[in-house]
Amino acid sequence: MSSQRKTANILDRPLSKGKSEVNISTFAFLFSELVHYARTRVKQQTNNELHDKLADFGKHVGSRLVDVLFLRERSYKRETKLLNVLLFIKSNLWKSLFGKEADGLEKDNEEDNIYYVTEKEPLVNKFVSLNTDHAKETYNVNCAAFISGIIEEVLNCCNFPAKVTSHWHQGTAFRIIFEKSMIKKDKLLEAK
């Protein structure tokens, strides 16, 4: 009688909750190469095109993060209320990406479908500088457009259609514009 060891299938093993931190210099190198790659792929070399390209790259990351985050943090339970999903982004998403919560979450004073997530020093802006070939041209690129793509895709995958853009304001502010139908839906859910 031989003792055979039962091996668990890889899909049956639990996900590790251990620290999965990436070396900061490795991240800086990879991200600067991503920005360089995006910059060489834009046609007219404008800031808006570069922001859009970086946001598209972020959307690929965001779509993959949704399932993993909700599996680990919420035991498959997705948020149905607008404020709860915004708090999830401010805390859980930010902690998994940057090791800390975002600096702030604010609602616009005039429009009820606009929110802001603020970060004083986004990690993606820390190590990237864009030099141009022409001395007169200067880039005012906010590489945090990559993060805005992540946020937008997480919201869209959670059935909260929104458009997210990054802006320079007390560091970086991520402007989240929800569709008006989402605000009506959220108010109906609160009334129940």
Domains annotated on the chain, with CATH:
23-131+140-191 (3.30.1380.20)
Residue 135 has a pLDDT of 38
Residue 22 has a pLDDT of 73
Residue 134 has a pLDDT of 42
Cβ neighbours of residue 112 closer than 8 Å, sequence gap 6 or more: 183
Residue 13 has a pLDDT of 63
pTM, to two decimals: 0.81
Residue 74 has a pLDDT of 62
pLDDT by 10-residue block (mean), the chain, 192 residues: 58 60 84 89 82 94 86 71 91 89 93 93 79 50 91 93 90 92 81 74
Other C-beta atoms closer than 10 Å to the C-beta of 88 total 20
How many residues does this entry show for the chain?
A: 192
In angstroms, the CA 33 to CA 56 distance is 15
Where are the alpha helices (H) located in the chain, listed in sequence order?
A: 24-41, 47-74, 82-88, 94-98, 123-126, 145-157, 180-191
In angstroms, the CA 181 to CA 192 distance is 17
